[in-house]
Amino acid sequence: MKEIAASLLMAFNVFVLFYFIAINSSYLLFVLIAARRVPRTYHRTVLQGLGELETSPLMPGVSIIAAAFNEQAGIVQSVRSMLELKYPKFEVVVVDDGSTDDTFELLRQEFDLVEVPRVVEDLVPTIGTVLSTHVPRGDESLVVVRKTNSGRRADASNVGINAASYELIAIVDADCVMDRDGLLRVAMPFANDPDRVIATGGVIRVANGCVIDRGEVLSTGMPRSWLARIQVVEYLRAFLLGRVGWTALNGLLIISGAFGMFRRDIVIAVGGFDLHCIGEDAELVARMHRHMRSGGLPYRMLLVSDTVNWTEVPENVKVLGRQRRRWSRGLTELIIKHWAMMLNPKYGRIGMVVMPYFLVFEAIGPFVELAGFVTVLMGLYFGILNLDFAAFFLLVALGYGILVSLAAVAVDDMSRAVYRGYRNLLILLLSAIVENIGFRQLHAWWRIRGVVSGVMGSDSGWGTMTRTGLGAGPAAAKTENP
Amino acid sequence: MDTLNIPLPVVQVSAAVIVLANIVVVAFILVYRIAEAALARRRAPSLKLARQGMLLAATSTEPPVDVSTVSTMKTGGSSRAMMLAAVKFLSSLKGQAHDDLVEYLDHGGYRKLAVRDLHSKDGLTRGVACELLGALAATDSAADLVELVKDNDRDVRKAAVRAVGRLRDADAASALIDSLEGDRSVSPIPVAAALLQIGPACEPVLRGSLHAPDPGVRAIACRVIGLLNLTGARSEVIDLLQSDSEVRPRIEAAHALGRLGGTRVQSPLLTCLASATDPNLRAAAAGALAGIADKQGLAALTVALDDPSASVCRAAGRAIVACGPLGRSALAGVANPRRAAEYAAEFIAIDNIRRARSASPAEPDRGAQP
């Protein structure tokens, strides 16, 4: 019996070793794919002719939809920032999701809002009730919709979809700061290929540590807290380079709800955001894939790597943990809901490659990772493993992981190089190391809890995030980070 | 009990490889940064001089012209940086300042530099050269630029198309239309923008393109015809709206007819509004009637306020409002069905706000959209 247990333990440890080699190799592959594309795209921005398109009648109309719940800290600045985007034809639709603070009142005063009987049809399902709609007396292209809160951001987004006027919708977080020409960049693929492109995503970067004034990023810097610093590297590796890699393989499954643009008619055709899914942004993309493939319709979804939306990330462990559990639960719900796509050739690369990848490496992965560390320790304790094996395991699990994170930093440095100065570089490099020692394991624990919650169907809720607001002013921005 | 062993040499070699790889990556980052900074420092003096020269030229002051620095510059990052600086400066100027700067850049060897760099092996350099020649309106480089519309680099093709547009050479219109198809095609937006810059002179090519086999080409042709207000093509655009086999060209035809106007466009647009199965086409038809609908048109538009598609209802509402007092009167009379009445109420309210704004004294700019 003892020997059987020992054999099983040995076999599992070997399996975990190969698992770490596989997952880190896949991350490295994405980084290498992105290494070719991202710097090239960035350095060739000058050849895109964006300046001429800022006022061009050739660009399609866009409705920017921002759901806001208790965003009084930065809502006016965010909306101002959106209204000053360089784009010829767009509107901003802010959905006040039953805020209990002064979110609406601040908007009302700032933009001199007046109530109008705007028709908001039930094109996609919603739960909450629309209470009123408001537009400015001035000529700002702004619509503010007030609704009752239903506890789901997806509901607010769906109300925004119903209220929107234009053929493209951009879903953004109300507290994000976009590059001034960000809308232009993510809309370009639609303008150039209106029949096939159905979704594009922008890049999300960490705003903590940046100096933001009146909705514009004046200078970038590494955050003060190590938790935020680690997320800088993580966002680079996973959300920028990873998704560029998936775009190159035609397998983009996740477009961040913080910055995604979609063809409105397709979103309506698939029923909008799922009101009962925590990861509603990814789930919508999966459903769009399914819809297009089931219909045999040609389509493309892509990440636009040279446009950035800056967002505030949690600097509190509890809040971050809640966020990551929620993301993980959302992914689990997506996999369960779209299980029919798994290894189904009808869904092409999405079914045969992307879904299995996310199942193995993102859903099951954290179990394997944590269990691996535990069983290696157990193996050492019971004398089944020797120190050489343990050292090799750590090399693969941690050393290889650090290599991937550093490679991600290198690719970013060859392109946008957001973090200037050697001090910022040193912090970035250290963060790439620390990300893999301690944070990754803690993250795995949060993800495990999220997966379990997703499988059990328990309500983890959204919770609240303490926001300091982006850019009360340059000095304030620097002191607000602990 | 057996133990799981990894041979020590394997561990040692693996450790060495991974540690070395990490060190190499860190070293690469550092070297890259240092090299970039050194390159920027090396280029800074000549760039600074160049910018000063351009600024002086743009303000009509006699600048020192150092032809040797620019025209003998090797093809590469430095020449590209100079050309980019010139392009940026040019794009920020208008009128006499712009003309003065163009003259300075011509005499200063920038045009020669760009012409040479059109044949650079590096795609980025070729593209930037296209940008500069376009900004300089270098008509004598038209043939080279048209050639580059078929370059193997997609971004160079785009830049060449934009440059050709700025030359406003009607002879290049065919090449632009041709660039929409084939293995080395160009995205439609830059091509349409270039055709718009060429202007009415490309009308014959555009009218011919209305019969192109590719629906994308027909769509772009319609769009540009509408934006250029080429009323001579009205009949052909009407034909396309009524009989094209694809939806997208018909949508663009509807938009174009809205811009072209005229007494003959209302009837086909109304037919489209009433019978098209594609809601995007009905919405385009409704939008096209803005400002041109007569009583019959307004009646059809008020019916469209209850279209199954919300985008059609909204387009109809906007179109009715654009018809002025007649439109407002038509909206006020909409009582049934309830949905149509709700849309009518919305657009009446929006129109009231707009009219109140027009009537009130001018207010400071609060970030209004162009």
B92 at A interface, C-beta within 8 A? no
Interface residue B127 vs chain A (CB under 8 A): yes
Q: Is A268 helix (H, G, I), strand (E, B) or coil?
A: helix
User: In chain B, which residues have their Cβ closer than 8 Å to the Cβ of A63?
Assistant: none
Contacts made by residues B117-122, CB under 8 angstroms, sequence distance 24+: B117/B75, B117/B79, B117/B80, B117/B83, B118/B144, B118/B145, B118/B148, B120/B75, B122/B75, B122/B76
Pick from A137, A139, A268, A411 the residue to mutate for testing the B interface (most B CBs within 10 Å): A139
**H or E stretch including A311?**
strand A300-311
In chain A, pLDDT over 90 holds for what percent of residues?
A: 61
Mean pLDDT of B273-290: 96
**Cβ distance of A49 and B367 shorter than 8 Å:** no
- What whole-number distance in Å separates Cα of residue A76 and Cα of residue B104? 46
Provide mean pLDDT across the span B115-137.
93
pLDDT at B55: 82
So what's the pLDDT on residue B368? 38
| Residue B15 amino acid letter | A
Name the residue of chain A whose CA is nearest to B20's CA. A403
- CA–CA dist A31, A356 (Å, integer): 20
| A393 closest CA partner among B2, B21, B18 | B18
**Chain A contact set for B363 (CB, 8 A):** 138
Please identify among residues 250-269 of chain B the ones whose CB lies closer than 8 Å to any CB of chain A. none
Pick from B4, B22, B31 the residue to mutate for testing the A interface (most A CBs within 10 Å).
B4
By C-alpha distance, the chain A residue nearest B188 is: A192
Closest Cβ opposite residue A403 in set B25, B248, B279: B25
Give the closest-approach CA distance of A204 to chain B in angstroms: 22
Upstream peptide bond of A356 is cis (omega within 30 degrees of 0): no
**CB atoms B1 and A384 under 8 Å:** yes
Helix-helix angle B8-58:A400-414, to 10 degrees: 10
Average pLDDT over residues A269-285: 92
Query: A142 vs B88, which has greater pLDDT?
Result: A142
Mutation for testing the A interface, residue in B2, B6, B118, B228 having most A CBs under 10 Å: B6
The interface predicted TM-score (ipTM) is: 0.88
Judge whether residue B69 has pLDDT over 80. Answer: no
Distances in Å between the Cα of A399 and the Cα atoms of A7, A31, A432, A456, B14 are 27, 16, 11, 35, 10
Statement: residue A373 has pLDDT above 80: yes
- Using 50, 70 and 90 to split pLDDT, how confident is the model at A474? very low
Mean predicted lDDT score pLDDT of chain B: 89
pLDDT the model gives residue B109: 84
d(CA B277, CA A352): 36
- Report the first-to-last Cα separation within chain B, whole angstroms: 79
C-beta of residue A164 within 8 angstroms of C-beta of residue A124? no
Residues in B 165-184 with any Cβ partner in A closer than 8 A:
none
Residue B367 has pLDDT above 70, yes or no: no
Specify the pairing of strand A177-178 against strand A90-97. Answer: unpaired
Cβ of B11 within 8 Å of Cβ of A53? The answer is no
Chain B positions touching A140 (Cβ under 8 A) are: 366-369
- What single-letter DSSP state applies at residue A89? S
pTM, whole model, 2 decimals? 0.89
Q: Poorest-confidence range of A280-284, B252-256, B337-341, B361-365?
A: B361-365
Nearest C-alpha in B relative to A11: B4
Across residues B167-190, what is the average pLDDT?
A: 93
Q: State the DSSP code for A295.
A: T
HSE-CB of A161 using CA atoms within 13 angstroms: 27
Q: Does residue A385 register a pLDDT over 60?
A: yes
The answer, yes or no, to whether residue B271 has pLDDT greater than 90, is yes
A200 vs A204: CA distance, rounded Å:
13
How much of chain A exceeds pLDDT 70, in percent?
A: 95
- Contact (CB, 8 A) for A307 and A202: yes
Average the pLDDT over B161-183 and give the result.
Answer: 94
Can you give the pLDDT at residue B23? 94
Contacts of B271 (CB under 8 A, 6+ apart): B242
Exposed e or buried b per residue across B248-281, where buried means at least 16 C-beta atoms within 10 angstroms of its C-beta: bbbbbbbbbbbbbeeeebbebbbebbeebeebbb
The model's confidence at residue B47, banded by pLDDT at 50, 70 and 90, is confident
Helix, strand, or coil here: B244?
Answer: coil
Q: What is the pLDDT of residue A185?
A: 93
DSSP code for A340: G
Q: Which residue has the tokens 């059987």?
A: A4
CB contact at 8 A, A267 and A284: yes
Helices (H), B279-337: 279-288, 295-304, 310-321, 324-332
What does DSSP say about strands A130-136 and A113-116: parallel, antiparallel, or unpaired?
antiparallel
pLDDT confidence bin for A381, thresholds 50/70/90:
confident
Using an 8 Å Cβ cutoff, are A211 and A471 in contact?
yes
Q: Which tokens in the block code for residue B170?
A: 């009607």
Q: Which residues of B touch A123 (CB under 8 A)?
A: 310
Between CA B109 and CA B46 the distance in angstroms is 14
Residue A479's pLDDT band (cuts 50, 70, 90): very low
B316-351 exposure pattern, b = at least 16 Cβ within 10 A, e = fewer:
bbbbbbbbeeebbebbeebeeeebbbbbbbbbbbbb
pLDDT in tens, A344-356: 999 999 999 999 9
Q: How crowded is residue B224: how many other Cβ atoms within 10 Å of its Cβ?
A: 30
User: What is the residue type of B330?
Assistant: A
Two tokens, residue B67: 């032809």
| Test mutation, A44, A267, A418, chain B, max B CBs within 10 A | A44
Question: How much is the average pLDDT of B152-167?
Answer: 95
Question: Alpha carbon A177 to chain centroid distance?
Answer: 14
Structure tokens, A473 = 């002013």
Q: Give the count of beta carbons closer than 10 Å to the beta carbon of residue A386.
A: 17
The predicted model gives A298-319 an average pLDDT of: 91
Q: DSSP letters of B183-195? A: TT---HHHHHHHH
Q: Which pLDDT score is estimated for A471?
A: 46
Collapsing DSSP to helix, strand or coil, A199 comes out as strand
Residue among A55, A388, A402 minimizing CB distance to B8:
A388
Burial B47-65 (b: 16+ CB within 10 A, else e): bebbeebbebbbeeeebee
In angstroms, what separates the C-alpha of A166 from chain B's closest C-alpha? Answer: 8
Structure confidence at residue A351 (pLDDT): 94
Q: Residue B204 is encoded by which pair of tokens?
A: 């014959």
Summarize pLDDT for B132-159 with one digit per residue, the tens.
Answer: 999 999 999 999 999 999 999 999 999 9
